[in-house]
Every structure is written in C-alpha cells, then in structure tokens.
C-alpha cells in the first residue's frame, strides 16, 4: 500500500518527551527551526486516558505523532509488574493510534523493541521473522503489548489508509538513560555498578547471567536521526529495524565499561540468573538504504554516556531540560 503523507511535516507531537528516547527526539528536532515540537507532561496528559488523548490531539492537530512513551524497564521490573507493563503499554498505543486516526493525523511513528522477536531466531533478525516463534518469557507482557501496537498500525493503514509506521530499535543507551538499578537496562546498570565499585575500592563485582548473550547496542541520538529519515522517506507497511550493525557479547561490554570507569577488580558472573534470548541482533539494511548510518561507535557512545552519568544522574537534570519544551 502506498502511503499518503510521508515527506514534508512541521508540527510534531512527541508523546513521552521527558523519557530517554523522547528527550533524544526532542533534542534532535529542536535543532532544526523547520520543526515545531508539541509536548505535554504526564501531569498535563495521562496517555492511558482515551478521552484526554483524543481531546489533546483534536486541539493541537499535529502533522506527525511520535509515540515515544511507554512503561519500560529491565528484567526485574518486568517480572514484578507484568500487569502494569501490558495494560499501560496497550492503552497508550491504542489511544495514540486511534486518536491520531480519529482526529485526522495521518502520520505516526510507533516504537517496537528487539524483544518482540522470537527468543530463538535466525541472526541478524529481519521483520519477516516476527511472530514466527515463542518470545522470551521474562518480558512477555511488554512484548505482547508492543506486537499489538505494531498490528494496530498496520490495521489502521489497511482499513483507513493512514500512514502509521513502526520502528524497531535495538538496545539503546546514551545520555538521559535511567541509572536507577530497579529500572535500568544493561548499559546504565553496568556503568553504575562499576563506577560505584571503583569509588568504594571493591576488588570484585558480581554481574547477573553468564555474560554470553549478545546484543545490538545503539546510541540513542542515532535513533532520533533515523526517526527523522523514516518519517520523511519510509512508506512501507513492514516494521523497520534500527540497529548498530554489530552484535556485542555482554561480557565484552562489561570489560569495555570496567576499563572505561577505571575498575581494576575481578568480574564474577552469577550464572543462576537468566541470560534472556541468546542473541538479539537486528538487520538494519532497510533503514541504511534510506541513507542512515549510525554516527556513534560503542566506545565513544559509552564515554558520552558515562560523562552524562557523572554530571547528571543524581540530579534528574534531563527532566528539567525537557520539561521546559
Ligand atoms: N530504551 C530502549 O532501549 C528502547 C529500545 C527499543 C524501544 N524503546 C521504546 O521507546 C519508547 C520510550 O522508551 P524509553 O526508554 O524512552 O522509556 P522512558 O525513559 O521510561 O520514557 C517513557 C516516557 O513515557 C511517559 N509515560 C509513561 N506512562 C505515561 C502516561 N500514562 N502518561 C503520559 N506519559 C507517560 C514517561 O513519562 P514520565 O517522564 O512522566 O515518566 C516518559 O516520558 C517505548 O515505547 C519503548 O518501548 C526503547
């Protein structure tokens, strides 16, 4: 199906603009005065409230909606709050997608996640492999909500000729990420653990899992740029991956981070803790054909992230920066 409204757009509503990905998107689009960013904090607009979302979209009339919102977290939080993960993510996606259609916004960018691919999957993973096997159980409620979001987009496109696309980013890291150990993904949690061990002069750090799993780590600002390229150029109905083009073993990542923060002790692996999927490496050939290529390699991205952590992590500065939008 061909899409109607790719190409030119000005007014962008970033849902979740104070979050990790939303903040990177806001930074990215704010650099170019051709764009006008619309935003609302959670206190101003609860995205699980259907009526409120519709009223907001009807009033603001964006050209494009970017759904950078969600209930997001690591293995522990997913396991503790499975109902919140499925319910809140389903509600936010459904309200934004249905609301955009109902109020006449034809272009929307929704986010999937690498965890929506089957746990055991040919690598690198391509979108035709989605829903061909069982997904990883540790974050199943979250992944099912994300798959529903993807299907909502394609269904509205088919029935209503909207132009809603789903981008599937790999494991993102960068400035503005959460370093709260309850919620953090692998990169921020390793940075914080090694930094604190180094500060306390510890001789050993114990990390969860065997360290053998492989992931595709992408700097968050690179995703923001990919989103602009997709919104301008992509009109396919197939979801599109955005990955770094390289798969890195968690052990290798831990060594890189330990060296970067100056931790010289031993790393122990607690193999009683789960590895998750053995590998999640995204094929990014389609987005690369559109002219996107990641600008930040893992080493320099980690340095930028650590610099941000040292300066901000305890002060919630990112929220203050983005709250002023
Ligand atoms: N991080 C990754 O590695 C990654 C990878 C692939 C895909 N994604 C996708 O990217 C999107 C954003 O993830 P993220 O990592 O940026 O998460 P995040 O930092 O937790 O940000 C989520 C944002 O959603 C907002 N939000 C949550 N519930 C809300 C509600 N009921 N009403 C209004 N706003 C609400 C949060 O508001 P507050 O600021 O008030 O908390 C926050 O701004 C998600 O769809 C996620 O699946 C992320």
DSSP secondary structure of 114-141: GGGS-SS--SSB-GGGTTSSPPPGGGHH
Question: 156 lies in a domain?
Answer: yes
Cα 73 from Cα 182, distance rounded (Å) = 8
Residue range 95-109, pLDDT digits in tens: 999 999 999 999 999
pLDDT at 322 over 80: no
Which atom of ligand 1 is the closest one to the Cα of 114?
6
Mean pLDDT of the chain: 93
Protein residues whose CB sits closer than 6 Å to any atom of ligand 1: 16, 18-22, 42, 46-48, 68-72, 88, 111, 113, 169, 171-172, 185
Residue range 104-141, pLDDT digits in tens: 999 999 999 999 999 999 999 999 999 999 999 989 99
Question: 168 lies in a domain?
Answer: yes
Question: 251 lies in a domain?
Answer: no
Contact 93, 148 (CB under 8 A): yes
Instruction: Name the pLDDT band for 313 (thresholds 50, 70, 90).
Output: confident
pLDDT at 175 over 80: yes
**Domain carrying residue 94:** 11-177+216-245+279-296+316-323
Which atom of ligand 1 is the closest one to the Cα of 177?
19
Of 4-18, 224-238, 243-257, the least confident? 4-18
pLDDT at 317 over 70: no
Tell me what the mean pLDDT of segment 247-255 comes to.
Answer: 98
Q: Which residue has the CA at smallest separation from atom 11 of ligand 1? A: 68
Which atom of ligand 1 is the closest one to the Cα of 185?
3
Of 4-18, 72-86, 214-228, 253-267, the least confident? 4-18
Cα 24 from Cα 227, distance rounded (Å) = 11
**DSSP for 299-321?**
HHHHHHHHHHHHHHTTTTHHHHH
Catalytic residue among 13, 87, 117, 142: 142
Q: Please give the pLDDT value at position 1.
A: 29
Q: Please give the pLDDT value at position 6.
A: 55
Q: Separation of 17 CA from ligand 1 center, angstroms?
A: 8
Cα 230 from Cα 240, distance rounded (Å) = 9
Question: 194 lies in a domain?
Answer: no
Q: Give the residue, out of 42, 167, 176, with the most ligand 1 atoms within 8 A of its beta carbon, to mutate for a pocket test.
A: 42
Q: Separation of 68 CA from ligand 1 center, angstroms?
A: 6
Cα 9 from Cα 153, distance rounded (Å) = 19
Question: 56 lies in a domain?
Answer: yes
Q: Please give the pLDDT value at position 318.
A: 47
Active-site residue, 173 included: no
Of 163-172, 198-207, 208-217, 306-315, the least confident? 306-315
Pairing relation of β-strands 217-219 and 171-173? parallel
CB under 8 A, 24+ apart: contacts of 257-263? 257/187, 257/190, 257/191, 257/194, 257/302, 257/306, 258/194, 258/205, 260/299, 260/302, 260/303, 260/306, 261/191, 261/194, 261/195, 261/198, 261/306, 262/198, 263/194, 263/195, 263/197, 263/198, 263/205
Instruction: Name the pLDDT band for 319 (thresholds 50, 70, 90).
Output: very low
Question: 24 lies in a domain?
Answer: yes
Q: Please give the pLDDT value at position 77.
A: 87
Entry pTM: 0.94
Q: Which residue has the CA at smallest separation from atom 6 of ligand 1? A: 113
Q: Separation of 284 CA from ligand 1 center, angstroms?
A: 23
Contact 2, 235 (CB under 8 A): yes
Q: Separation of 159 CA from ligand 1 center, angstroms?
A: 28
Q: Please give the pLDDT value at position 315.
A: 54
Question: 90 lies in a domain?
Answer: yes
CB under 8 A, 24+ apart: contacts of 180-187? 182/73, 182/74, 182/76, 182/77, 183/72, 183/73, 183/74, 183/77, 184/74, 185/74, 186/74, 186/215, 186/250, 186/253, 187/217, 187/253, 187/257, 187/302, 187/305
Question: 26 lies in a domain?
Answer: yes
H or E element in which residue 287 lies: helix 285-289
Q: What share of the chain is helix, strand, coil (3-state, %, to 5)?
A: 45, 15, 40
Q: Separation of 195 CA from ligand 1 center, angstroms?
A: 25
- Give me the CATH number covering residue 157: 3.40.50.720
pLDDT at 321 over 80: no
Q: Give the residue, out of 18, 19, 313, with the most ligand 1 atoms within 8 A of its beta carbon, to mutate for a pocket test.
A: 19
Instruction: Name the pLDDT band for 76 (thresholds 50, 70, 90).
Output: confident
Number of domains into which the chain is organized: 1
H or E element in which residue 64 lies: strand 64-67
pLDDT at 297 over 90: yes
Q: Please give the pLDDT value at position 171.
A: 97
């Amino acid at each position: 199906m061909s899409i109607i409204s790719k190409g030119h757009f000005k007014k962008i509503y970033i849902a979740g603009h104070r979050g990790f990905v939303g903040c990177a998107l806001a930074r990215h689009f704010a650099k170019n005065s051709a764009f006008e960013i619309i935003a609302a904090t959670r206190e101003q607009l609860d995205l699980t409230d259907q009526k409120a979302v519709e009223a907001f979209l009807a009033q603001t009339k964006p050209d494009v909606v970017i759904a950078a919102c969600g209930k997001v977290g690591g293995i522990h939080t997913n396991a503790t709050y499975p109902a919140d993960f499925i319910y809140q993510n389903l509600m936010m996606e459904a309200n934004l997608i249905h609301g955009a259609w109902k109020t006449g916004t034809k272009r929307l960018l929704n986010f999937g996640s690498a965890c929506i691919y089957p746990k055991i999957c040919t690598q690198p993973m391509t979108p035709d492999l989605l829903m061909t096997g069982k997904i990883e159980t540790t974050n199943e409620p979250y992944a099912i909500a994300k798959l529903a979001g993807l299907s909502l987009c394609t269904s509205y496109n088919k029935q209503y000729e909207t132009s809603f696309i789903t981008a599937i980013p790999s494991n993102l890291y960068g400035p503005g990420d959460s370093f709260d150990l309850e919620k953090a993904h692998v990169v921020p949690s390793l940075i914080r653990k090694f930094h604190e061990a180094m500060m306390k002069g510890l001789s050993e750090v114990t990390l969860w899992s065997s360290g053998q799993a492989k992931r595709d780590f992408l700097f968050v600002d690179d995703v923001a740029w990919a989103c602009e390229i997709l919104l301008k150029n992509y009109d396919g109905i197939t979801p599109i991956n955005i990955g770094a083009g390289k798969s890195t073993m968690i052990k290798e990542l831990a060594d890189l981070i330990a060296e970067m923060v100056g931790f010289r002790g031993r790393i122990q692996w607690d193999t009683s803790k789960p590895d998750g999927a053995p590998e999640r490496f995204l094929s990014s050939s389609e987005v690369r054909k559109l002219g996107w290529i990641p600008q930040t390699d893992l080493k320099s991205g980690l340095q930028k992230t650590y610099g941000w952590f040292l300066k901000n992590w305890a002060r919630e500065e990112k929220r203050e920066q983005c709250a002023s939008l």
